[in-house]
Structure 1
Amino acid sequence: MKQRLTEHWEHYRGSLGGVWEVWRSDKLQNHYNVPWESVTLPHTYNGYDVMDPDHTYYQGQGWYRNKLDIHNPYPKGRTLLHFEGAGQRTDVYIYTEKVGSHLGGYDEFTVDISEAIERAQGIDRYAGQVPVAIACDNSRELETIPSDASDFNLYGGVYRYLNLVYVPQISLAQVHVETHVDNVSAQKARSGQVKVRAKLYNPVGITENISLTIVLKGKDGSVVEQAELSSPTWQDEQEIAVFEVPNPHLWSVSDPYLYEISVTLRCEDGEMTSQERFGFRTFEFVKQGPFKLNGERLLLRGTHRHEDHAAVGAAMTENMIREEMQLIKEMGANFIRLGHYQQSRIVLDLCDELGILVWEEIPWCRGGLGGPAYRQQCIDMLTAMISQHYNHPSVILWGLGNENDWECDFDYFDQQEIRTFMKRLHDLSHELDPNRLTAIRRCEFCKDIIDIYSPSIWAGWYRGVYTDYESSCQTAFENVDSFFHMEWGADNLPTRHVEKPYTGFSLMQNADGVTDERDGDYLLTGGEPRVSRDGDWSETYFCEMIDWYLKSQEKMEWLTGAAQWSFKDFATPVRPDSPIPYLNMKGIVERDLTPKEAFYVFQSYWSDKPMVRIYGHTMPVRWGMEGERKLIKVYSNAEQVELFLNGQSLGAKQRDSQDFPCAGLRWETVLTAGEYHLRAEAVCNGEIVSDELRFTYQSEAWGEPNEIKLTTETLTDGRVYVEVRAYDANGVFCPNASEFVRFGLAGDGKLLDNLGTIRGSRQVQLAGGRAGIYVDTCGGLPAGITVTDFVSAGGPASSIAVSKRAAQQRYISVISAACEGMSTVTAIIEVMK
């Protein structure tokens, strides 16, 4: 019996000095009270501060407390707290008694609180309730993984679900299902075998006979096979059943068929049932060749995922996770690398259900190699990951590390020591799971140790140009037995579009095809020329790069696959200078899952669902010379698309994936200043699909941004959207302005900021000459909204304050001020009563 513990929790961020402080006020009513905050689990105390542009995020202790009603139905049963993940070190208390600890922010763990409950229930003031306290700590320690040099935040808190579990005196600790299939061809198998192994939880060493019923069911719930077993209790893991299954239904990315094993244990104290889903499938990475699933070649089309979301950080709810994984599948992906740590069981369940193959890894990420405790944590986390996710048919690769050639955490760096330890992890992985392979990314001196290797190839971003992509992959492919390209892409600020994207073709033409990322390439200053430093960070460039990569991959018959980095923008402590500070902006969707234009480029190559998308939905203004011929791009998986401009057909185009860009779905037309309406229509698999957008074409030339204007719009939900736009000295809109702006607020209300999105960040670069943010008025009117514009040198150029004239009336306030670097600044704000 399992119950999620989500409600009635209280939280305090900071050190309390000891667990007694959690409960002291319950006994000493007149004593100083710690300011506890009501929260719902899952929860992290870094939900907002990781995106604060002015401070580094908090790393330290955080406390949680609750008073639980415990009613174990088993006479001699055990009561457990099952953590699906908490970061990064966790201590668990019943009242002031420490009952368990765990090191590691990403694997599951269980704490038995049975005896401690009996002692705590005797405390009169809690009236039979059980006081539970949890201390989490994400303070930096060099001798732990992951390294703080990693490109992601180490969240603190109970940021995955916490469960209260009741089991009988003897119970099932884990059930592993191992499958084998024979004579596989044409996605079919003649026979399959299922081996079921179980481990008992018997903490007090009861010796008695137990009985087991093992039932194998199909996806529809029908019973395929069944077995009974009576046995004395045992230690460790033991095989409890073997089933032969004729003509098993194979699991695949297009038909993710899942069987279920149900194991019911009966002992003198009662009975319990454990249910595990699994699938039959085979896979192979052909030596210096492609990938095969169930005997047939499959191009792995992938992305990456971090456990990170606007406003909640790592504490994503099941609904949030489900929405994200569904979007990944709708994009057309059939593979995902879970970077760079074991992720929620919900993610793995969804990969099984949706048909998404998985590379999952431990967080030995950058920094080097520490001492005995450091290495033991790596071993423990690898063991836990394999044991806890063993039954998922979606998992094909166990990742042993990432960028382990990145030196920084210790005053020593021994490549041979890293090689020796990598071999130890490789051997352990195969000992724990002989049926899956090992993998790492970017550690050239270890590539001969593991089964599958991905070098660092960032053609067109950290090194080289994107047209070097195929040749770079070919060279890397020839130097390893099994090549799999992990991580490629480009940072892109949502809603930033350009007419002519920076490609770096001319500047980097003498780079001799070098495309690997090197330490420090992510920095925005110094080093050799590179698009990541010198480019425009636009969605326009990102889409063109993706377009080139995807059309190339279609013709690389030897390619196992590739995975773009990363599906969603995510918070990171190592990128304070990003256009949205502390954000890795390589996402296909924003941090709140709002799709960018790139999402539809992927769909046009990967998805079977009919679609058509005109590029530029978040580009309300296009610009150029009067009468200039401009390119209009459409992405679609239809064979033919027709485009209409202001109701007039510009003709139909045939799709050809090798006709770059847009697979040939592009039109040139003359534009003059004015308003335009575009509509694209296509027929795909008998279904009519269409898309439309409107834009303004600006032909009037502009100079340097000299003036900013502020407007507001009151939304139906009560929020106010505040937008700033840049203009030159003559009042002409500057659609390519990219200076930083900072929003501020005084008085009633609050900025909805620190979200890491284009409209949820108080410091952000202009995109398309605009920037905006939402304001929660909290039932009143703000006393002042400020916008500060920064000149390119980085210093403040202007500040604008809009004062409240009268709280009870609708008003417009206009203020002009002279400032250094700008002759006039005008702010216009309209606030609704």
Structure 2
Amino acid sequence: MLNKTKYIIFTIFLITSQLSFAQQSIRLNGDWEFLKQDLGGIWEAVRPVGLGNPESVPLWQNVNLPHCVNAEDAVDPDVNYYQGPSWYRTQLKIENPYQKGRTILHFEGAGQKTDVYVYTTKVGSHVGGYDEWTVDITDAVAAFQKTEVYQKQFKGKVPVSIRTDNSRDLEMIPSDLSDFNVYGGIYRYLNLVYVPALSVDKMFAKAEVDAQGKLGKLSVKARFYNPAGVNDARVQFKLIDPAGRVVSKGEKRLNNLTADIELWNLEVKKPQLWSTDHPLQYRLQYEVISPTGNYNGEEKIGFRHIEFVEKGPFNLNGKRLLLRGTHRHEDHAGVEAAMTEDMIRTEMQMMKDMGVNFIRLGHYQQSRIVLNLCDSLGILVWEEIPWCRGGLGGDVYKQQARRMLTNMIEQHYNHPSIIIWGLGNENDWPGDFPAFDKEKIRAFMKELNDLSHQMDAARYTAIRRCDFCADIVDVYSPSIWAGWYRGAYTDYKKASEDEFSKVKRFLHVEWGGDSHAMRHSENPDKALSKIKTGGSADERAGDASLYGGAARISKDGDWSESYITNLIDWHLKEQESMPWLSGTAYWPFKDFSTPVRPDNPVPYMNQKGVIERDFTRKEAYYVFQSYWTEKPMAHIYGHTWPVRWGEEGEEKMVKVYSNATEAEIFLNGKSFGSKKRNSQDYPAAGLRWNFPFVKGENTVKVIAKKGKEIATDEIKFNYQIEKWTKPVEMTLTKVDQQGDVATVEIRLFDNKGVQCLDAVNWINFGLTGDGKMIDNQGTSSGSRKVQAYNGRAIIKVRLNKGKSIISGSSEGLKTIFMEL
């Protein structure tokens, strides 16, 4: 039997699969050893010395899959993240239940180059960190099981070793110039799959419907995995509607299984339609019957009609739908790319709860789990290959791009959520090669566009930010970063109208800006006075730098949550008044790590997310909810703003983000009146009040009404009227303890002991003793080096039931210590 730590899934119908593997799929999660370096050869992975043996060099560590090589170093402020070879090894008990069946390792994604060994035999390789792939280990296992070492050294188990490599390579996509980490490791699920001698490799189910929803058509093709050359089989089908009723049945006899075979064509009158509000899915169940054993599988499909109107909006099932979107990188605190299924589900549900109906998966093919959730939650998808920045390489480079486009389309073909195949991102960004030839890039882009249409004529193609290729694809997204990299956010509509006029079909993906979580401002728009407005709002080379060049908010702004909520609020207000707009996608949903931003307030983090890397919501999340959701909600700005400041008696603004019809505000129990919501009344859709806080503690409460339903919110904060000068000292305090985890806070004060509420000093935490800092998380409260937010910074420490000394330092200030 397999070790109990392995997660075993026995399925009659493998409903989570778009590759359609059945009947046994075993997630190989436990009992792995990992080595973060290269070996001299495969023999070093399987020689008879193991973990804990003092003669074992190098030393391996125990890990579970999925696992990312860069689980912590991607955001370590003191090092460059590791790019190089690493090894994984385990021992498997192979028990294939099928006579003459095939034993397969199914990789849902591993980065970036992967070699697979059974004992010392190399059984497969793959280049590309984001598409799925398989290795048939049947013959290698059979050969090894005949050896003496199988029984004597490995006691009836089969050693499997896997080498992954994310070394820098100019002839591989994505480019290392990309604004995200090119991770290494087996960072998606790895499955051991048993199939009969004849099985289905891919089942292609094309569901179509007219714009009126009156007539649906389903065409089914299959590609079989048939290494034994079986030529006698039959396949049985059932189509089951969303309510569980059998719509139709079919059967076909097969005698030529060497190519893609057309199996079934079916008409469905008035099918139940898939939409973002009602993502109804049909199930296509099938069974392949042959003398070698039966193979069962299931595909989920959806009938929906999509149209990007030329010079107009987007229609779903014949009606306009404003695409309200965001982006996703595969990245999370503490695990990096190795997100578990539960983490992915939490993230996607948070998006849906924010009101998202569209997502661009940046900048690579993502997990089947993500796509299945988009199908079931009702989130439309732009999915793209990782041809991102750097230029265009040679034949090896181009062949990888072709292969990854082919794999992406074939592996995710059946998902009703997908409406766009993305062919590239920022392909106007040179740097990897001495020559940058626009015509060669155009020629290859056209080749990929033709390939996509040849494989899937029912979906659109798109790219973002490569103006000299804009005419090639079906849908184009230019670079518009109004209020961040160029111009003011009030330039947004004019810049969008200008870009809309240039292309056949316009969709605006990537907008927004960075915000340092828990940093707030009483005057967030102050830097706008330095900004040149009325011109281009695109991003150009060097705009992401924090140094030099023209004035821009990305460099000269305060990176506060206060500013970014204003920017988002303005954009969402304008989008509601643009009837020609197909939609937009905010960049991105969650903060993510990047090697090209070491100087950001959280080093090596792109902080443009509306949530932090550990799922903590920023204030911006609620701005989107107030525009995009129906369930009554109300959120007073400032939940992570413990101290506000100003003059005594000065009126200060309080903003409420809500989708309610009207709201009433209370300060310290006194009502300051009700206001009605109007999306065009900026800011906060008219739900804003000005009143004087009292010195010391204040309580603000809102009661918002939407019909008969009510939503409430309340915050407490202190109001400081004392002025401060520059920071001259720090304090270190334990502010909370939950179980064995303590939260420590540093505060900055001037020479009169007044807290410096606008201080942005760099803070460095250190620890010695029994405990361990919870750092390298890529969050505002999970980095040992971080810029202060309103004159403070916090970090958590796992005490390990012992004693530790924590320190805090900042340039020019005296280092402080505290015992925990």
Q: TM-score, normalised by structure 2?
A: 0.95
Task: Please name the residue that 1:176 is paired with.
Answer: 204
Question: Is this contact kept in 1: 2:531–2:552, CA < 8 A?
Answer: yes
Q: CA deviation at 1:111?
A: 0.3
Shift of 1:503: 5.1
Specify the code of the residue in structure 1 equivalent to 2:81. Answer: Y
Q: Match for residue 545 of structure 1?
A: 567
Q: Distance in 2 between matches of 1:638 and 1:372?
A: 57
Deviation at 1:504, TM superposition (A): 3.8
Q: For residue 157 of structure 2, what is the aligned residue in structure 1?
A: 129
1:30 deviates by 7.9
Q: Does 1:605 align with 2:637?
A: no
Alignment of 1:451 with 2:471, yes or no, is no
Q: Residue 387 of structure 1: SS of its match in structure 2?
A: helix
Letter aligned with residue 636 of structure 1: S
Per-residue CA deviations over 1:706-727 (Å, capped at 9, x if unaligned) read 1111101352321111100011
The DSSP-based 3-state class of the residue aligned with 2:214 is strand
The answer to whether the 8 A contact 1:25-1:31 is kept is no
Give, in whole Å, the separation in 2 of the partners of 1:560 and 1:27: 58
What's the counterpart of residue 100 of structure 1?
A: 124
Question: 1:788 corresponds to which residue?
Answer: 809
Q: State the 1:520 CA deviation.
A: 1.4
> Counterpart of 1:515?
537
Q: Does 1:486 align with 2:509?
A: yes
Distance, in Å, in 1 between the alignment partners of 2:196 and 2:706 is 56
Q: How does 1:763-778 map to 2 (within 5 A)?
A: 763-778=785-800
Whether 1:334 and 2:334 are equivalent positions in the alignment is no
Q: How far apart are residue 229 of structure 1 and its match?
A: 1.1
- The corresponding residue for 2:277 is 254
- Once residues 731 and 654 of structure 2 are traced to their aligned partners in structure 1, the CA distance between those partners, rounded to angstroms, is 30
Aligned with 1:330: secondary structure? helix
Contact 2:327/2:360 (8 A) holds in 1:
yes
CA distance in 1, matches of 2:221, 2:127: 27
Question: Distance between the aligned counterparts of 2:735 and 2:717, measured in 1?
Answer: 20
The equivalences for 1:422-501 within 5 A come to 422-501=445-524
- Is 1:577 matched with 2:614? no
Q: Residue 182 of structure 2 aligns with which residue?
A: 154
What is the DSSP-based 3-state SS (H/G/I as helix, E as strand, rest coil) of the residue aligned with 1:156?
A: coil
User: Over aligned residues, Cα RMSD in angstroms?
Assistant: 1.2
* CA distance in 2 between partners of 1:728 and 1:440 (Å): 51
Contact 1:503/1:541 (<8 A) preserved: no
- For the Cα contact (< 8 Å) 2:239–2:249, is it kept in 1? yes
- Aligned residue in 2 for 1:798: 813
Amino acid at match of 1:788: S
Structure 1 residue ranges (4+ consecutive) displaced by more than 3 angstroms after TM superposition: 25-33, 502-505
Is residue 15 of structure 1 aligned with residue 38 of structure 2?
yes
| Alignment partner, residue 389 of structure 1 | 412
Q: Secondary structure at the match of 1:505?
A: helix
Counterpart CA distance in 1 for 2:684 and 2:75 is: 35
Q: Is the Cα contact below 8 Å between 1:145 and 1:378 reproduced in 2? A: yes
Cα offset for 1:799?
A: 4.5
In the TM superposition, 1:164-563 aligns within 5 A as: 164-182=192-210, 184-185=211-212, 189-206=213-230, 208-502=231-525, 504-509=527-532, 511-563=533-585
The separation in 1 between residues aligned to 2:159 and 2:460, in whole angstroms, is 44
Counterparts of 1:54 and 1:180 in 2: how far apart (Å)? 53
Q: Tell me whether 76-85 or 261-270 shows the greater mean CA deviation.
A: 261-270
Alpha-carbon distance in structure 1 between the residues aligned to 2:786 and 2:189: 33
Task: Report the number of matched residues.
Answer: 792
Deviation at 1:801, TM superposition (A): 4.4
Structure 2 distance, partners of 1:288, 1:82, is 43
* Deviation of 1:129 (Å): 0.9
Q: Separation in 1 of the partners of 2:801 and 2:57?
A: 30
Amino acid at match of 2:189: Y
Quick one: distance in 1 between partners of 2:378 and 2:56? Answer: 54
Q: What is the alpha-carbon distance in structure 2 between the residues aligned to residue 48 and residue 746 of structure 1?
A: 19
Q: What do residues 102-147 of structure 1 show as CA deviations (whole Å, max 9, x unaligned)?
A: 0000000000000111122232211211110000000000000000
Unaligned runs of 5+ in 2: 1-23
Could you tell me which amino acid in structure 1 is paired with residue 483 of structure 2? G
For 1:153, what is the secondary structure of its paired residue? coil
Identity %: 55
Q: Secondary structure at the match of 1:126?
A: coil
> Does the 8 Å contact 1:786/1:799 carry over to 2?
no
Say if 1:175 and 1:274, in contact at 8 Å, map to a contact too. Answer: no
Question: Which residue identity lines up with residue 123 of structure 2 in the other structure?
Answer: V
Correspondence 1:83-98 to 2 at 5 A: 83-98=107-122
Counterpart of 1:158 in structure 2: which amino acid? I
Query: Deviation of residue 683 (structure 1)?
Result: 1.9
1:36 aligns with 2:60: yes
State the one-letter code of the partner of 1:144: M
Alignment of 1:662 onto 2:662 = no
Conserved? CA contact 1:605–1:637, under 8 Å: yes
* CA distance, structure 1, for counterparts of residue 260 and residue 328 of structure 2: 32
Amino acid corresponding to residue 800 of structure 1 in structure 2: T
Q: State TM-score, norm by structure 1.
A: 0.94
For residues 241 and 799 of structure 1, what CA distance do their matches in structure 2 show?
A: 76
Per the alignment, in what secondary structure is the counterpart of residue 541 of structure 1?
Answer: helix
Rounded Cα–Cα distance in structure 1 between residues aligned with 2:48 and 2:403: 38
Are the counterparts in 2 of residues 336 and 357 from structure 1 also a CA contact under 8 Å? yes
Tell me the distance in 2 between the aligned counterparts of 1:154 and 1:204.
38
Structure 1 counterpart SS, 2:349? helix
Kept after mapping to 1: 8 A contact 2:50/2:56: no
- Once the two structures are TM-superposed, the CA of residue 570 in structure 1 deviates from its matched residue by 0.3
Q: Which amino acid in structure 1 is aligned with residue 141 of structure 2?
A: I
Tell me how far apart the structure 2 counterparts of residues 205 and 230 of structure 1 sit (CA, whole Å).
16
* Contact 1:460–1:503 (Cα < 8 Å) also in 2: no
Give 1:211 deviation, angstroms: 1.1
Query: How much has 1:493 moved relative to structure 2?
Result: 0.2
Shift of 1:31: 4.4
Distance 1:30 1:668 in 2: 70
Whether the 8 Å contact between 2:729 and 2:813 is mirrored in structure 1 is no
> Structure 1: which 5+ runs fail to align?
790-795, 803-828
Residues 94 and 610 (structure 1), Cα distance of their counterparts in 2 relative to 1, 3 Å cut = same
What is the CA–CA distance in structure 2 between the aligned matches of 1:146 and 1:129, rounded to whole Å?
A: 37
Q: Which residue of 1 aligns with 2:8?
A: none
CA contact (8 A) 2:731 2:816 kept: no
Q: 1:647 to 1:373 in 2, by over 3 A?
A: same
Map Cα deviations across residues 610-668 of structure 1 (whole Å, 9 max, x no partner). 10000000001000001101101100000000111111111111000000000000001
Counterpart check, 1:111 vs 2:132: no
Instruction: Report the counterpart of residue 59 of structure 1 in structure 2.
Output: 83
2:6 — aligned with what? none
1:747 paired to 2:749: no
Query: What CA distance in whole angstroms lies between the structure 2 residues aligned with 1:59 and 1:667?
Result: 52
